[in-house]
Amino acid sequence: MIQAKKKFGQNFLQDKSYINKIIESMPNNDNIIVEIGPGLGDLTEKLLQKNSLVAYEIDEDLCKILKDKFDNLELVCGDVLDSWQTGRLREKKYNLIANLPYYVATNIILKALNDENCENILVLIQKEVAQKFSAECGEKIHSGLSIIAHSVAEVEIKFEIPPTAFNPAPKVMSSVILFKKNRLKYDQDYAKFLKIAFSQPRKTLLKNLSQKYDKEFIKTIFNKINLKENIRPHQVSDKLFYEVFSELKGENENDTTTTNGKSSRK
């Protein structure tokens, strides 16, 4: 019996009822399926019955097991992030399904959201991470992650999975979350802007943005779109965030100089 490896954050989902629920939550189309981290192949076996499947597994020992178990599986052994260097994981449209460990979950989801060939993302992740991606304006965990996700996809937490469904059992609850993309990719400059905006979530948005941009010009933008100067990042709607970004981007492109690392008007 193979032992789960902590360095890969392995927790194998083996409860068949939850495996079936994942299958039922899959988008219904003819896209190729990409599975990241097939593990022992419990979910893989079900996926092979639906569509063409490509699996990426980083653990060499698990690769040997999967090759012996499935003779009709296209298996890529290695770190999936190494295959994502061009921005596209596959050359054809695909749906991503994965049981993602905490340490790599956010990075992989962002990669998939920005991959124009990835149309749907159905992933099993730590409940806390799922909540961050699905959070709405006003919630304290509303962040740049949720704004980016909602800018390119409909986001829905499908159901939760308790630790007892895994071997070994993790210490936290897990959630299955679905991203149904309605745009090809997100704006990388916008993502950088949001990182600054949420750099200190307990501080005001004005203070955070003033680290990079001219404070007086930000105040002008806030006044123009009726944003209070003491508002905190999690209280700002996705729409207003993009308005602030657009104003700053337009200013930078048209007529700016850099003073002490901050953008300011000439």
Report which of 184, 183, 182, 164 is spatially closest to residue 174, judged by C-alpha positions: 164
Inform me whether the pLDDT recorded for 259 exceeds 50: no
Mean pLDDT across the chain: 91
Instruction: Give pLDDT, residue 203.
Output: 96
- The domains found in the chain, sorted by start residue, are 6-181 (3.40.50.150), 188-265 (1.10.8.100)
pTM to 2 decimal places: 0.89
The stretch 93-110 carries a mean pLDDT of 94
The stretch 95-118 carries a mean pLDDT of 94
Looking at residue 124, its amino acid is L
Inform me whether the pLDDT recorded for 257 exceeds 60: no
* Secondary structure, 3-state, the chain: CCCCCHHHCCCEECCHHHHHHHHHHCCCCCCEEEEECCCCCHHHHHHCCCCCEEEEECCHHHHHHHHHHCCCCEEEECCHHHHHCCCCCCCCCEEEEEECCHHHHHHHHHHHHCCCCEEEEEEEEEHHHHHHHHCCCCCCCCCHHHHHHHHHEEEEEEEEECHHHEECCCCCCEEEEEEEECCCCCCHHHHHHHHHHCCCCCCCHHHHHCCCECHHHHHHHHHHCCCCCCCCHHHCCHHHHHHHHHHHHHHHHHCEEEECCEEEEC
Residue 50 burial (CB count, 10 A): 13
